[in-house]
Structure 1
Amino acid sequence: MSDRVELKKEFQIERMILFTDAVFAIAITLLIIEIKAPEIHKNMVFTEMVDQLLNLIPKFIGFIISFFVVAIYWRSHHRMFSFIKDYDDKLIWLNFFFLFSIILMPFSSAYYSDNTTYSLPFWFYSLNVALTGFLNYRMLTYIIKHKGRISDGFDDLKTRQLARWRTLIVPAIFLLGIFIDLILPKEHSMNMLSRFTPMLIWPAIALLNRFFGRVNDLEYHEKPKAKHRK
């Protein structure tokens, strides 16, 4: 009877993971769908075609940033759920709220990419990414708090610290962008630095990995059973 219960539990967890993967796949696909291919009219010269593509550069930059941000969150979710051995209603709803912020990203990314010089679209997009990060952090802390009941692993303090810091680094960097945009006058040339703060994500993650040095522990690996001496 217990084997049937365990199989059913594994099946339900697998359903949650598959549903999450489907939402990520839809969101990451919608990012590129938002970029409309330019129409080439009759008698249009080569330079005009090039201009059409050049006009799409802000949208492609927004797409590339959003693509890798979504990829980072998928990787984080993949690692997090490798520790899961059981589930409850709260974990399900935390996962739903997290997915809500992910599926909102194609809209916020398109809104910002179409209006890069304005503050509000930039704030909206950055807050969307930050919300995703904080919801991801909330889910992580819940999983760590209930280790032994719904999760295995996270036994080492440094591993838990690295997991938390890595989860917070992306929202912190996007909030830094909003802060720079708020404190610098709009006409100041340095104001545009706020738009490039996402480039700090990868160096920041590399520094965290170097400091803690426990990246391999962020994904659950079952410890080999000790061999009994005869």
Structure 2
Amino acid sequence: MMTKGRLEAFTDGVLAIIITIMVLELKVPHEGQFEDLKPLIPVFGSYVLSFVYIAIYWNNHHHMFQTVKHVSGNILWANINLLFWLSLIPFVSGWMGENHFSTATVFLYGVILLAAAIAYFVLQNLIIKSHGKDSILAKALGKDLKGKVSPILYVIGIIGAFFSVWISGTMFVLVAVIWLIPDSRIEKTLKKEYNQ
């Protein structure tokens, strides 16, 4: 069995690059007045939302891998799959901001968020499969209500883009808020395991 160190280091590096690419989309205005920042508001809005999503994934990935003792080839490839979808966030985020949240851009942004969520779910389940149903991660997740509700909200947001981008935006922000609320399931389960 392989150790998890290289996987975590690689993931951290890729996520750091993703954030760097996103911030480069914020072009500096040529003039020095506050009103010159106005055209950047949509780009900055999409950047903030995307930054929050990347931060959420990094945080949850870190917590999840605290429960991992070893990784298999399947887990490595599932992690690469997750990073692939996350690496597309700078593109869709930039496209959405540059085009003032048009229907097509918001739709594609939602598709990428949903694909990343599915990839994370697959990775999580491969870890549970590898470590067993009595593993720390399996115990910590329990019924995983947040994990089940999020894809539904993404789908509503994706479909909603054809009716109003405000529906989509609300759904995407709602998912981010759900995951921003500190989730201590893994930490609590780890404490219980190590205090036994």
TM-score, with structure 1 as normaliser:
0.74
User: 1:160 is matched with which residue?
Assistant: 142
RMSD: 2.7
What amino acid sits opposite 2:186 in the alignment? L
Question: What corresponds to 2:20 in structure 1?
Answer: 29
Partners of 1:206 and 1:98 lie apart in 2 by 19
Match of 1:212 in 2: none
Equivalents in 1 of 2:195, 2:99: separation in Å? 57
The CA deviation at 1:166 is 2.7
Count of residue correspondences: 194
CA distance in 2, matches of 1:100, 1:52: 35
Aligned equivalent of 2:107:
123
TM-superposition CA deviations, 1:84-121 (whole Å, max 9, x none): 11111111100001111111111111011111342111
1:47-196 matches, within 5 Å, as 49-148=33-132, 152-154=135-137, 156=139, 159-162=141-144, 165-182=145-162, 184=163, 192-196=166-170
Task: For 2:95 and 2:138, locate their aligned partners in 1 and report how far apart those are by CA, in whole Å.
Answer: 42
Q: Give the secondary-structure state (helix, strand or coil) at the position aligned to 1:120.
A: helix
Alignment of 1:197 with 2:171, yes or no, is yes
Kindly provide the CA deviation profile for residues 152-175 of structure 1, in whole angstroms up to 9, marking residues without a partner as x: 41353x73322xx33344443332
Distance change in 2, residues 1:225/1:205 (3 Å): closer
* Deviation of 1:77 (Å): 0.8
Q: Secondary structure at the residue paired with 1:146?
A: helix
Task: Give distance in 2, aligned partners of 1:128 and 1:224.
Answer: 37
- 1:216 maps to which residue? 184
* Unaligned stretches of 5+ residues in structure 2: none
Give % identity: 25
Find the residue that maps to 2:147 and give its secondary structure: helix
Which residue in the other structure is 2:11 paired with? Answer: 20
Q: Do the aligned partners of residues 192 and 217 (structure 1) sit closer, same or farther apart at CA in structure 2, a change above 3 Å counting? A: closer
Partner Cα distance (2:101, 2:75) in 1: 39
Taking structure 1 as reference, are residues 202 and 135 closer, same or farther at Cα in structure 2, changes over 3 Å only? closer
Instruction: Flag structure 1 segments of 5+ consecutive residues without an equivalent.
Output: 1-5, 41-45, 185-189, 210-214
- SS of 1:84's equivalent in the other structure is coil
Match of 1:3 in 2: none
Structure with max Cα Rg: 1
2:60 corresponds to which letter in structure 1?
A: S
CA displacement at 1:123 relative to structure 2: 1.2
